[in-house]
């Protein structure tokens, strides 16, 4: 076995995955749609370990460290699952670095588990179909990681009538070179994990009505995306982002991811749109705001975002091509 290294990107959901039909198999309630990013990536190398047990290392600005026990446990579990599939009893070494410009604070589990799954499969010589790879990636627990296996604009599951099916690319990155300016308000760990958020989602009295209107919204977003209709796209993306947080806030127990500066950024984005700029905002399970905009308007939006009180810094990203194998090994 040789070392295999992959670089996989994060993604931002436009239609959110929030709630699971089957928590063990990581099957979502509804299809989600995302935009794969370009700059926010995880780089992972997997190869033979001299130690008797699998080992996990993480490059940080302070050097190589052993990650927290819960993070290591999830990584080791994913490695164990893939080794069982490959009938391998070798000990594996995993080294990962997250290249998220300007530090932490943006979800790295999707990129991390996509890179880990790809690198482990390559190191083990495990050949998988796209469907098997999608399934093995989501079984890591990070369902959104399965969208990070593809570039451009992605729907998971691609076929709504097969909730446990794989992700599909709706359109390649070249279709619409949108930017994602990530206004970082708090780079700390979120108060409630996505896993717990998925568990709480169906306890909201609004969850059922969300599921009822989602098919229409999802189709409308697909059409806005295919037609590059920014006004329609912005309207749908913002409705959907607010829905996610309404479900979170009205669940039992309630979950609040917003911070005061989150609202200030949302207000600024609405004002910029009213002034004619092509921009809109969306949030995942956290306070930081992904401000989407066209390439033409990115510079003007960036200046305004930087001046919103409470915004620590802005990460400049854009739609990306998806994961790639690399010969740059981390050990």
| Interface residues toward ligand DP6, by CB under 6 A | 13, 16-18, 32, 107, 109-110, 142-145, 194-195, 284-285
Q: Report the 10 Å Cβ neighbour count for 215.
A: 12
Report in angstroms how near the CB of residue 96 gets to ligand DP6 at its nearest.
15
Nearer to ligand DP6 by C-beta: 107 or 234? 107
- 174's tokens: 């070249």
Reading the block at residue 330, the tokens are 């981390």
Are 91 and 51 spatial neighbours (Cβ–Cβ below 8 Å)? yes
| Smallest gap from residue 210 Cβ to ligand DP6 (A) | 13
Nearer of residues 107 and 123 to ligand DP6, judged by Cβ: 107
- In the complex, what is the shortest distance from the CB of residue 109 to ligand DP6, in angstroms, rounded to a whole number? 4
Cis peptide leading into residue 178 (ω within 30°): no
Tell me how far, at minimum, the Cβ of 227 lies from ligand DP6, in Å: 23
CB of 192 to ligand DP6, least distance (A): 11
- 109 vs 279 by CB, closer to ligand DP6: 109
CB of 11 to ligand DP6, least distance (A): 7
Helix (H, G, I), strand (E, B), or coil: what is residue 284? coil
Q: Between 139 and 234, whose beta carbon lies closer to ligand DP6?
A: 139
Q: Which DSSP string do the residues of 211-259 spell out, in sequence order?
A: HHHHHHHHHHHHHHHHTT-HHHHHHHHHHHHHHHHHHHHTSSS------
How far, in Å, CA of 133 to CA of 11, rounded? Answer: 17
Q: Look up residue 222 and give its two tokens.
A: 């697909």
Residue 247 CB, shortest distance to ligand DP6, in Å, is 10
Pair 150, 157: CB distance under 8 Å: no
Instruction: 226-229: list long-range contacts, CB under 8 Å, 24+ apart.
Output: 226/170, 226/171, 226/175, 228/175, 228/176
Quote the DSSP letter at residue 69.
Answer: H
Nearer to ligand DP6, 81 or 329 (CB): 81
Nearer to ligand DP6, 180 or 272 (CB): 180
């Amino acid at each position: 076995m040789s070392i295999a290294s992959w670089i996989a990107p994060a993604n931002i959901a436009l239609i959110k995955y929030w709630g699971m039909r089957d928590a063990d198999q990581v099957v979502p309630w509804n299809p989600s749609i995302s935009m794969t990013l370009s700059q926010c990536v995880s780089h992972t190398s997997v190869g033979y370990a001299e130690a008797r047990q699998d080992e996990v290392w993480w490059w940080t600005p302070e050097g190589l460290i052993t990650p927290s026990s819960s993070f290591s446990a999830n990584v080791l579990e994913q490695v164990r699952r893939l080794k069982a599939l490959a009938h391998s009893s070798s000990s594996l070494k995993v080294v990962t670095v997250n290249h998220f410009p300007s530090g932490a604070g943006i979800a790295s589990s999707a990129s991390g588990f996509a890179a880990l799954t790809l690198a482990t499969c390559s190191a083990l010589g495990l050949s998988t179909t796209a469907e098997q790879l999608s399934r093995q990636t989501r079984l890591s627990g990070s369902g959104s990681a399965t969208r990070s296996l593809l570039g451009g604009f992605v729907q998971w599951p691609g076929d709504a009538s097969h909730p446990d099916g794989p992700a599909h690319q709706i359109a390649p990155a070249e279709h619409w070179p949108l930017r994602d300016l990530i206004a970082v308000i708090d780079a700390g760990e979120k108060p409630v994990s996505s896993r717990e958020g998925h568990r709480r989602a169906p306890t909201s009295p609004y969850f059922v009505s969300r599921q009822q209107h989602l098919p229409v919204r999802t189709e409308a977003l697909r059409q806005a995306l295919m037609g590059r209709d920014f006004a329609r796209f912005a309207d749908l993306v913002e409705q959907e982002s607010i829905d996610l947080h309404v479900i979170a806030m009205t669940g039992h127990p309630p979950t609040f991811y917003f911070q005061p500066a989150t609202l200030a950024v949302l207000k600024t984005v609405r004002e910029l749109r009213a002034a004619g700029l092509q921009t809109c905002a969306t949030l995942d399970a956290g306070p930081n705001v992904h401000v989407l905009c066209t390439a033409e308007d990115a510079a003007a939006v960036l200046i305004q975002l930087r001046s919103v009180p409470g915004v620590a810094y802005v990460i400049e990203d854009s739609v990306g091509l998806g994961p790639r194998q690399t010969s740059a090994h981390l050990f």
